Structure 1
Amino acid sequence: MNKFAYLAIFAGVACAAPAVSAGCTQTTIVEQVEPGPAPTDTPTGDAGTEASTSGQKVDGPSGTLFGATVKSYATLGAGGEIATAGVIVPFAAFNAAPANGPFQDEMVLEMPDAVKSQTFLQHLRVNWLSKGHGPSPYSAPHFDLHFYRGTVAEIDAIDCRADKRLPPAAQVPAGYTMEPQLCASAMGFHSWPEKDLSSSAWSGSMILGYFAEKMVFLEPMIPKTTIAAKQSFGFEVAKPSTLGGAKTLYPRQMNATYDATADAYTFEFSGFESID
C-alpha cells in the first residue's frame, strides 16, 4: 500500500512539536510514515476450499508471510454456526522477519466466507515492527496480528486526519484505556490494557481498535521473544457493551497453540457471543 499512514499520539504536557517543555499545556505529536507496499508475491488469499457440512472444519484462504504459507480456517457447530476461527502460522514465518524493515502490511489474508458472514473477523493483516513503537512497553520488537471488521478497501480508507472522534465509553471495555492516544491510518485508534502501561515486563496483549465511533479490529500484539519461546499462550478478549455496528458474533478468547510436530502456531478465536 502506497498511501501514507499517520501515527498520531496525543498525551500529557508539551508545547509545539518538536520541542517539549513542562511549561506547555498540550501535546500533539504526529509522526508521518509511509509504509511501503507488501511484497508483490504476497496474495490476499486464495479461494481455499470451504466445507458445506456443518460440524466440519472449514479450510479458508491462504497467504504468504516471509516465505511461509499461512492458512485460515474455521470449525462449525452442529447448526453451521462458527465455533472457532483462526490462522495457522509456521514458526519459520516469524523467524524469517528481517532485523530491519519498512512499516507495511507483510500479509493480507481473507478469513473463510463463513467467518466473514457470521463474525466480527473479516480479514487479517500482519505487521512486523522490528523497533516496536510507543507507549512503553511496546518498544520491544513485536508482531501485530490485526483481525479487522471490514473489507480491505474499507480499512484502507481509514484516515486519522479525516475523523478524529474517539469511541464512545460504551465501546471501551473495563480495564482498557485510550491514553496515550494513537491512531494509524489504514488501522484506526488503538486501545490497550491499562495494566500494560505500568508494567516493566510484557509478553503480549490483546489490543482493540476503533474508527468513526465503531470497533474495527482485534489485535493480538506479540513480542518476538514470546514467539521464539515456542510455548502456547492465550488472551481473554474483553467485550464492550456495543461495537457500534450491525449484530455479529464476537469472540471472548484467543489461544495461540504451538505444535512442535508442525513447528507452527495456531491462533484461534473461540467463545463467540452475539453483540449489537
Structure 2
Amino acid sequence: MKIGVNWKSLLGILVFVASHHAVADRKVVTDRKPLGKHGWVYSWNIYSDAGVPKAIGISVNGAAFKELPEDDMETIVLQPKAQYAIAPYKHFTLDWNPHGHEPDGIYTKPHFDYHFFFITSAEREAITCQDADALICTKAVPSSYIPADYAPTPAGVPKMGWHFVDLKAPEFNGQPFSATFIYGFYNGVTNFLEPMITLEYLKTKPHAEYPVRLSQNISHSGFYPQKYMVIYNHVEDTYSVVLADLLNRTSSL
C-alpha cells in the first residue's frame, strides 16, 4: 500500500519538536574565568525541564586559543555556585600542557586536561603523592570500582591523584592521541574524571561523542556520564568538553 507523505508538514513537525525540546532544557553557567587577555573559560550545566541534570561542560572561547602560552600555565580552577553543584562534582580544573607529558610518545602532544573533581579544591591542593602521601595516593582500588580495561599509571600526580588510563584507547593501540578519558583515584576511591584533548584535534572544530565505560560499583553517589562529547559551536566560537547522558547512581559504600 502506498502512503502519501507531506514532507513539508513532517519537516515542520520535526522542527517544532526539536525546538521545544531545546527550549525545555535549561543551560546554567556555573563559573567563568579569564584565559589570556581576551580569552575565557566557563563551566556550565544543562537540566531537563524537570530539573534533572543532563550534562556538565567546560567551554573555552576561540580567542583563548590565539593567546596560549608557550610554557605551562597556572591551573584554572572553576568553582560552581553552591546552588548549581551536581553530585558528586565539587570543582573543575583546566590545565594547558604545551609540551604534553609522560608517557613519552603517547601524551607528548600539546593538549588540555579537563578535570572534574569529586573533592574540594582545598582537598585537591593537599594531595602531594609524595612521602607518606604516596601510599595513600596509590592505595589499592577494589576491582569492581575500576572500569574494564583501565590500568594504573606508575605513580600519583600532586594536586590530582592516581591516573588510570584506558588500554582500549587509540593511543595505546598504534594510533595517535587526540581525545581520551581517564579515571582518577585517591585513597582507594574515585576522586576525578578527566577527558584529555589535544589542541590539534580541537582546531578541527569537532562535533563528536565517545562512550564512557562505567565501573560496576561507585564510591560517590551522583550523576555519571555514559558518554563525553567534544563540540565546537560556530555561533559562540567556543570549544566544549561535555560529560553527557548523565546516569544517577548510588554509592556501594
What TM bracket, shorter-length normalisation?
Answer: 0.7 to 0.9
| Max Rg structure | 2
Residue 95 to residue 206, structure 1, CA distance change in 2 (3 Å): farther
Which of 67, 71, 82 aligns to 1:113? It is 82
> Which is helix-richer, 1 or 2?
2
Q: How far has the Cα of 1:115 moved from its partner?
A: 4.6
Aligned to 2:90: 122
CA distance in 1 between counterparts of 2:80 and 2:58 reads 8
CA distance in 2 between counterparts of 1:101 and 1:74 reads 28
Q: How far has the Cα of 1:112 moved from its partner?
A: 4.5
Amino acid paired to 1:126: L
Does residue 90 in structure 1 map to residue 61 in structure 2?
A: yes
Amino acid paired to 2:123: E
Residue 216 to residue 274, structure 1, CA distance change in 2 (3 Å): same
CA distance in 2 between counterparts of 1:223 and 1:263 reads 18
Aligned to 2:190: 215
CA deviations on 1:202-246 (whole Å, 9 max, x unpaired) are 21101111101111111111111111222222332221122323x
Q: TM-score, normalised by structure 2?
A: 0.78
Q: How far has the Cα of 1:55 moved from its partner?
A: 5.0
Amino acid paired to 2:98: S
Aligned length: 218
Amino acid paired to 2:89: L
Which of 192, 215, 230 aligns to 1:240? It is 215
* Contact 1:147/1:218 (<8 A) preserved: yes
Bigger Cα displacement from structure 2, 207-216 vs 232-241: 232-241
* Contact 1:94/1:227 (<8 A) preserved: no
Q: Secondary structure at the match of 1:182?
A: coil
Aligned to 1:46: none
Does residue 100 in structure 1 map to residue 71 in structure 2?
A: yes
Does residue 202 in structure 1 map to residue 177 in structure 2?
A: yes
Bigger Cα displacement from structure 2, 143-152 vs 74-83: 74-83
Aligned to 1:11: none
Aligned to 1:188: 161
CA distance in 1 between counterparts of 2:174 and 2:90 reads 32
Q: How far has the Cα of 1:258 moved from its partner?
A: 0.5
Please give the residue correspondences for 1:254-269 in structure 2 after superposition, counting only pairs within 5 Å: 254-269=228-243
CA distance in 2 between counterparts of 1:200 and 1:270 reads 25
Which of 89, 109, 112 aligns to 1:140? It is 109
CA distance in 2 between counterparts of 1:114 and 1:166 reads 34
Aligned to 1:71: 42
Q: TM-score, normalised by structure 1?
A: 0.72
Q: Percent identity?
A: 26
Aligned to 1:58: 28
Report the RMSD for the aligned CA atoms in angstroms.
2.0
CA deviations on 1:6-29 (whole Å, 9 max, x unpaired) are xxxxxxxxxxxxxxxxxxxxxxxx
Aligned to 1:31: none
Amino acid paired to 1:166: A
CA distance in 2 between counterparts of 1:257 and 1:200 reads 22
Q: Secondary structure at the match of 1:272?
A: strand
Which of 249, 261, 264 aligns to 2:223? It is 249
Q: Secondary structure at the match of 2:155?
A: strand
Which of 128, 131, 136 aligns to 1:159? It is 128
Q: Secondary structure at the match of 1:133?
A: coil
Name structure 2 gaps, 5 residues minimum: 1-23
